[in-house]
């Protein structure tokens, strides 16, 4: 059995919220504003719909193939060799996406708080922490998120709302000045990030109550959609049109906090919050990768894979982009078509084929 631990619905909600929110809260206000202007705050709300759709697809697949992960039922539906090939492609998707996330972590810390420290140093540090968590099992990660994420949410929203004295609601007007088309264009960004809940398909069998998986995912998608909408709206009412030109608008926002010349320069708090979130996100992608490799290779234990995959992630995170500008260009333009294929299209086709051919299975060992 690859994983003996079991996670609760609450833990699943926190983990999925963090997977989407850890990077979205940093980049989304700027990238969405570039496409949707002052109406970009609507985009995260629209993205709730495809997120719930994907949660429903994953739940139906999990119900049809109880006790199996995405990698396992790919082989059941597509056949042994084709399924293994598809499974390898998913592993590469998890690996490459995680390398991008790790590079984002290193570049942002170098830009904001550690300008004299090479990004590779902070990237290796977070990988070592995540390797420890992955070796400990899924339950370790779930407990960390269950303990830390409520504090993360409270501190994040408090930090954002402390900019209330900088707010100018006229920056939201006129609403839908250019129609709904810019909002739809802006919605493509959060839709790609919302699809990262595809990781639920890798942890679904390890839930204590898999029958609650769909509901838990829907709660997570809706909650993070509301949080990201508030984040985008506050950035817009404070910065106005200039938010589209900011690389890390939420960090720029928090730097403006000044309450009675007493509470100010609290961006270090936001950095600490973000580090916790990135730990949870990197660790979950890391876990999905090693579990997937173990299942494709037919191994009974994934732990021997943790170190070599960590070394591969460290190297790949340095190679995915030559500089921060290239990394940002990939995040804002290159990621989405690639993500839609693995997050929405393949799971939908997989469910349709399984239903058409009447393929299902009893509870399997994982």
CA distances from 72 to 202, 342, 354 (A): 9, 15, 13
CB 172 within 8 A of CB 266: no
How far apart CA 249 and CA 243 sit, in angstroms, is 6
Beta bridge partners of 207: 7
| 138: CB partners within 8 A, 6+ apart | 3, 5, 7, 203, 206, 287
How far apart CA 190 and CA 20 sit, in angstroms, is 9
Q: What is the pLDDT of residue 272?
A: 86
Give the CATH fold of the 9-352 domain: Hydantoin permease (1.10.4160)
How far apart CA 74 and CA 94 sit, in angstroms, is 15
Q: How many CB atoms lie within 10 A of CB 300?
A: 7
Q: What is the pLDDT of residue 365?
A: 45
CB 310 within 8 A of CB 290: no
CB 51 within 8 A of CB 214: no
**pLDDT by position in tens, the chain (length 366):** 577 889 999 999 999 999 999 988 888 888 888 888 889 899 899 999 999 999 999 999 999 999 999 999 999 999 989 999 999 999 999 999 999 999 999 998 988 888 888 999 999 999 999 999 999 999 999 999 999 999 888 888 887 778 877 888 888 888 888 888 888 888 877 778 889 999 999 999 999 999 899 999 999 999 999 999 998 899 899 888 888 888 888 888 888 776 666 667 777 788 888 899 999 999 999 999 999 999 999 998 999 999 999 999 999 999 998 888 888 888 877 788 889 999 999 999 999 999 999 888 765 444
How far apart CA 158 and CA 155 sit, in angstroms, is 5
φ/ψ bin of 365: left (φ > 0), alpha (ψ from -120 to 50), beta (otherwise): beta
Q: What is the pLDDT of residue 188?
A: 78
How far apart CA 354 and CA 62 sit, in angstroms, is 12
CB 13 within 8 A of CB 223: yes
| 174: CB partners within 8 A, 6+ apart | none
How far apart CA 188 and CA 176 sit, in angstroms, is 17
Q: What is the pLDDT of residue 326?
A: 86
Q: What is the pLDDT of residue 333?
A: 78
Q: What is the pLDDT of residue 271?
A: 85
Give Cα 324 distance to the centre of its chain. Answer: 19
Q: Residue ranges per domain, the chain?
A: 9-352
DSSP code at position 258: E
| 126: CB partners within 8 A, 6+ apart | 102, 105, 275, 278, 279, 282
């Amino acid at each position: 059995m690859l994983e003996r631990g079991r996670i609760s619905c609450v833990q699943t909600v926190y983990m999925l919220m963090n997977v989407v929110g850890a990077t979205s809260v940093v980049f989304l206000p700027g990238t969405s504003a570039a496409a949707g202007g002052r109406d970009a705050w609507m985009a995260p709300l629209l993205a709730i719909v495809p997120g719930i759709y994907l949660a429903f697809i994953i739940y139906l697949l999990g119900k049809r193939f109880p006790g199996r992960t995405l990698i396992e039922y790919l082989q059941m539906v597509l056949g042994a060799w084709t399924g293994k090939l598809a499974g390898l492609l998913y592993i590469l998707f998890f690996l490459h996406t995680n390398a991008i996330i790790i590079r984002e972590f290193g570049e942002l810390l170098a830009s904001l708080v550690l300008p004299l420290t090479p990004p590779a140093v902070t990237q290796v540090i977070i990988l070592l922490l995540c390797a420890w968590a992955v070796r400990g099992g899924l339950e370790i990660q779930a407990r960390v998120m269950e303990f830390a994420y409520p504090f993360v949410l409270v501190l994040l929203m408090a930090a954002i709302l402390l900019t209330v004295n900088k707010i100018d609601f006229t920056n939201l007007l006129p609403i839908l000045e250019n129609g709904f088309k810019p909002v739809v264009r802006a919605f493509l960004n959060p839709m790609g990030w919302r699809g990262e809940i595809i990781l639920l398909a890798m942890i679904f069998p390890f839930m204590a109550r898999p029958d609650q998986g769909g509901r838990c995912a829907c709660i997570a998608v809706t909650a993070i959609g509301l949080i990201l909408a508030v984040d985008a709206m506050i950035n817009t009412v404070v910065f106005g049109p200039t938010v589209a030109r900011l690389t890390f608008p939420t960090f720029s926002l928090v730097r403006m906090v000044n309450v009675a010349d007493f509470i100010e320069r609290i961006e270090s708090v936001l950095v600490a919050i973000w580090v916790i979130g990135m730990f949870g996100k990197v660790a979950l992608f890391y876990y999905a990768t090693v579990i997937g490799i173990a299942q494709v290779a037919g191994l009974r234990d994934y732990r021997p894979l943790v170190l070599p995959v960590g070394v591969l992630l460290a190297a790949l995170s340095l190679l995915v982009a030559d500089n921060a500008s290239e990394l940002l260009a990939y995040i804002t333009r290159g990621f989405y078509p690639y993500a839609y294929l693995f997050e929405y299209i393949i799971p939908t086709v997989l469910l349709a084929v399984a239903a058409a051919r009447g393929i299902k299975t009893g509870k399997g060992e994982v």
